[in-house]
Structure 1
């Protein structure tokens, strides 16, 4: 009996020691700045914080993108720290540094231009805060500085606009171009895509090209200057709807009819542009979907769960003209 009692006592002690060893792992901690370790279910943490550095509020498209992210954060119960860059890269960089100091779990960045981000993104990488780019790409020497880019195919948007215009103008005519923000990915890519198609039509020429900085006011101002320099303009290609709407105002004030005397094609597909197409003041708008919130948070949660995401997630876009804009308006969300 004494021998059995001794054996039982030894087994109990061994079990206790094993229990203590097993508890040792649960005592370790993971920094909130580090990607969450993958669990058995691969689930992201239920509570996390995102810092969102937005370019500004220069257009209806940009406002729609911001609202999409804010609405989705609220829907998912995510803490969102928002910073408006007011069209200044230096303010966006300051915001990213602030998010790093606040130890957010993920950073969303809608970069104003393609270059100049590498130093601050290296700071984020050093403390294991993943960065997700929204709508615009960047140029860096190390693409591990960001996890993924949610965007549209800006080059293809330029091609779509040019193909529509070439068909409408029967491959002949002079065009003025309202470019987006100098150095930004959409401005560079939309110009490239448009030029690629126009190279196939030697009788179609871009006679003037200048930045309108993606705003209605600047688009109007540049178009006024274009009209004074050349009253024979036949078409306008604007890199976004807001500049096209500003150009339409300038055309009206010059005594011409936008959409009739001068053809206008643009990019974004916002509600106001589709209304203008329905009213005959614009002719075509190629869509660029700004509702990136759901996709951005899906990507964030996969990353926080330790899962891989595609380096580039591209939205599928369509175009609207006089034959389709009115039908699309009732269901348009932006």
Structure 2
């Protein structure tokens, strides 16, 4: 079927055309959750190849066990296509609610819209989807997560001050198309634009992975030996980069000043060891907040579309106190 301009304008009163994703009912009701003693909760994880993800998953399992609720857990192994299939499987299993950590902003839109169509409430955790295609409070109940733009901004502030406003930076970006990668870059760039001496001379995705981060950094640093600082979108890539620096006979924290994000135990220790300047926290322990939000929905409360975690900034001045709770 084809649509003329007139057809689309007529449809526009009750639906929105969304690229290749089909039609989204603009005024369809947000699914609700009935009050019950126990719930069957789906958690569609994006991957399990790093400490942050493992800590997040364990937090979900712990909270489900604490409440006596059933958790249907899937691991997309880094594949957006599999994650869409995982959500479809949860819909088929008639879970009561779905918690989704979308790998990328656009490819997970079909999963979000299919859950809505099936009448199953969905909460996005730690990563969001493209708000021009699916909106919190309209197409899914809420997004619970960090302010990734603020994280990038805070990392930039500490690094810029330490460098006196002058640095030649290598940037290790997270997964291409993911909300944390997009926003952490935006937040960092927004801050340093007021400092012409802060120059990003090389930037590439390390996919939030330690091995990929090491390989990408090694290549970028060989091409840009004049680099004086590193901004990495997560601690796993940072630790890979540190390994590459040390293998090349360089001293992290001296030859290159490092800003990173997450708050892993490895990064906290690296701050204590003088290898990392600053680590901005991104807390992975979403279980309590996510399950509390489900309970509120069951009580008939409308969730705020965006529930933002409070993240801390760790430097050598305060990281020792944090280390015992680091993941």
Q: State if a TM-score over 0.5 links the two structures.
A: yes
Aligned to 1:110: 101
| 1:121 Cα deviation after fit | 2.3
Question: Is 2:256 the partner of 1:262?
Answer: yes
Question: Is 2:26 the partner of 1:35?
Answer: no
Q: Is the 8 A contact 2:146 2:310 kept in 1?
A: yes
Q: Is the 8 A contact 2:41 2:96 kept in 1?
A: yes
Aligned to 1:123: 114
Q: Is the 8 A contact 2:33 2:96 kept in 1?
A: no
Spell out the pairing of 1:193-272 with structure 2 (5 A cutoff). Answer: 193-272=187-266
TM-score, length-scaled by structure 2:
0.87
4+ long deviations beyond 4 Å: none
| 1:61 Cα deviation after fit | 1.1
Question: Is 2:317 the partner of 1:326?
Answer: no
Spell out the pairing of 1:1-40 with structure 2 (5 A cutoff). Answer: 35-37=32-34
Question: Is 2:145 the partner of 1:141?
Answer: no
For 2:39 and 2:224, how far apart are their aligned partners in 1?
55
For 2:271 and 2:178, how far apart are their aligned partners in 1?
27
Q: Using a 3 Å threshold, how does the CA distance of structure 1 residues 329 and 126 change in structure 2: closer, same or farther?
A: same
For 2:214 and 2:165, how far apart are their aligned partners in 1?
26
Question: Is 2:303 the partner of 1:309?
Answer: yes
TM-score, length-scaled by structure 1:
0.85
Q: Is the 8 A contact 1:58 1:214 kept in 2?
A: no
| 1:281 Cα deviation after fit | 1.9
RMSD: 1.2
Aligned to 1:16: none
More helix by share: 1
| 1:36 Cα deviation after fit | 4.0
Q: Deviations over 1:3-52 (max 9, x none)?
A: xxxxxxxxxxxxxxxxxxxxxxxxxxxxxxx7344xxxxxx311110011
| 1:204 Cα deviation after fit | 1.1
For 2:82 and 2:142, how far apart are their aligned partners in 1?
22
Q: Is the 8 A contact 2:263 2:326 kept in 1?
A: no
Partner SS, residue 192 of structure 1: helix
**194-203 vs 141-150, which moves further:** 141-150
Aligned to 2:290: 296
Question: Is 2:267 the partner of 1:273?
Answer: yes
Q: Is the 8 A contact 1:56 1:87 kept in 2?
A: yes
Q: Is the 8 A contact 1:53 1:96 kept in 2?
A: yes
| 1:69 Cα deviation after fit | 0.7
For 2:293 and 2:84, how far apart are their aligned partners in 1?
22
For 2:243 and 2:316, how far apart are their aligned partners in 1?
19
Q: Deviations over 1:262-297 (max 9, x none)?
A: 111100111221011111222210011111110000
